[in-house]
Every structure is written in structure tokens, then in C-alpha cells.
Chain A
């Protein structure tokens, strides 16, 4: 069973609207949680990195939140643009003492339409 579950699997929104992507994980303990943006056919690009003690991290119109108690993270995109159309991947990095079994979500595919 995947230890990182992302929802929704896909999402279509109108340009200019906001949206929130969810990531639920069971990995424990963990070192940090990351969100990546991946355009079709290209390598992932890091958006945010949060340690377990951080609650929120922003990168322009992208804001990630983390609730370590409920083991949930979200990525909020504000005032969406057509260029936000991509797959967004949540990655949970375990505590190094637990090994290097990186835990990737399968991603949320976002389509922003005019």
C-alpha cells in the first residue's frame, strides 16, 4: 500500500481560480515533505520543502501547509494561470535513520482552462 495518497487524481479549473491539492501520508517519522510540479514530458521542479516542524511554506502563488498531527499536507494555488497546468507530486522523505525509501504520491493532474 502506498504510504502517500494524493487527491484528487485530476482537476480542471478556470484560469484565475484558486485550488487546493491534498496529500495524506502514513510515513513516520519523516524528515521533510516536498511538493514538485512536473510539466508533461519534463523533469519535476521543486516548489516547496517543509520539515516536520514547519506548518506552511510559500513560493509565489504556491502555498504548502503541513499538519504533522493528522499527517496531511495541502498545496494551494492562488489565481491560477494556464502555465500551472501540470502534475503536482507530493514526496515524503523519511528520517534518514529509517533508510532511504522515498515515498512518492502518484500526483494530481491539474488542467487550467481559459
Chain B
């Protein structure tokens, strides 16, 4: 158990809908990262927050947004969902800002299925 929690574990929804994925980092970790993993693309970095502020952006679509709250939990919002958004979404946390140099601890993931 990494100490990172994600909810829900599974999510099934229809195209055009909007969903929110939630992540609670390990106690004391200030950085939260979101990743998408699909069968054909592998793992892709979406976005990083550090202590409430957006720190780095990867291949995140404009239909997707995220935020980190004062209690350090984070939410990833996916809107106007398309079939291709079906994937595993992972959250990871680390202690420092990191520039990705420190160890990231991954949560168990949320499996999103868009029908």
C-alpha cells in the first residue's frame, strides 16, 4: 500500500458526460501528479500540482482540468467525455516539488470506461 488513495476505483459513464476523479496524497506529500494509462499509449503524464499550485503540464487535453485543495487532496475533472478517454487514471504523490527527481508513490488508479 503506497499511502495514496484514489476514488472511485471504477467509473462507467456515457460519451459527453463529465466525471471527477479524486486523489488523496500520502501524509506530508505536497506534490500530486496525474497520469493516464491506455492500452495503446502507455503511461502519459497529465499535470502536476505542488502545494495548491499548478506546477507542470503534460499531455492534458483542454477538456480536462485539475486542482489541488488546501488539504492537499486533488481532483481531476474530465468533461465532454469521448470513447478514447477510457483508460486507467493514476494519481501519484511525492514529498517535494521534485522536478521529478524524487520518488513518486502511485495510487491504485481509477478505471474509467466511457460507453
Q: Which residues of chain A have a CB within 8 Å of any CB of chain B? A: 31-32, 41-46, 49, 89, 91, 93, 96, 100-102, 104-107
Contacts and interface: CB of A to CB of B under 8 A. Distances in A.
B19 to A, nearest CB: 19
Interface stretch (B63-71, B74-82, B104-112): B104-112
Contacts, number: 53
Interface of B: 2, 4, 42-45, 48, 56-58, 88, 90, 92, 99-101, 103-109
A100 B100 contact: yes
A46 B48 contact: no
A33 B56 CA distance: 18
A82 B24 CA distance: 31
B92 to A, nearest CB: 7
